[in-house]
Amino acid sequence: MKRIGDETGDAAYHRVRIAAKRFRYALEFLSDVYPGETKPLIRRTAALQDLLGAYQDGHVAIVRLRELAAQRADDLGPAAVFAMGEIAERYRVAMVDLRGRVRPAYARLNGKQWRRTRTVLEAERPPATPASGPVDV
């Protein structure tokens, strides 16, 4: 998220969505051991994923509408192509709104709750042991 800015492309938002999905899976894996710590983070991660998923859906819809208009404009006719443009514009406007909501959703995820959970996890991390040679079995 630190690299996401006003001029960031759609692919970057999709990468953040994938990273959020992996983070949520890791939290869900730990939820039985740390239920009080992980449940709020899982909810916040899911909220971020929902925003990013809606953003990706809009992006995919616009790309598909453009492809259809380019490939089938003669078959569809001007009225249908115009309507497709209007639909694409609605998706674009929604995506602008979603972009504005992503950073606050991330801030809720990356706030005090995450710092506390990370501290708990780090405190219980086993100490690193120096690498040793192969173990004979």
- Residue 27 included in any domain: yes
The mean per-residue pLDDT over the stretch 45-65 comes to 97
- pLDDT tier at 133, thresholds 50, 70, 90: low
* pLDDT above 70 for 86: yes
- Domain-located, residue 4: no
Evaluate the CA torsion angle 97, 98, 101, 103 in order and state its sign. Answer: negative
Q: What is the mean pLDDT of the chain?
A: 90
Q: How many domains does the chain have?
A: 1
**pTM, two decimal places:** 0.82
Neighbours of 45 (CB within 10 A): 25
Whether 132 shows a pLDDT value over 70: the answer reads no
For residue 136, the 8-state DSSP code is: P
**Which of 41, 22, 19, 16 lies closest to 111 in space, CA to CA?**
41
Q: Is residue 128 part of a domain?
A: no
| pLDDT greater than 70 at residue 135 | no
Count of Cβ atoms closer than 10 Å to residue 44 Cβ: 22
pLDDT of residue 16: 93
**Token code pair at residue 73:** 């404009």
Is residue 83 one of the residues assigned to a domain? yes
The tokens for 129 are 């042991």
Q: What is the mean pLDDT of residues 19-27?
A: 95
Decide if 133 is inside a domain.
Answer: no
What is the per-residue pLDDT for 22? Answer: 96
Residue 72 maps to a domain:
yes
Six-digit token pair at 103?
């950073």
Domain that holds residue 19: 10-121
Q: Are 62 and 96 in contact (CB under 8 A)?
A: no
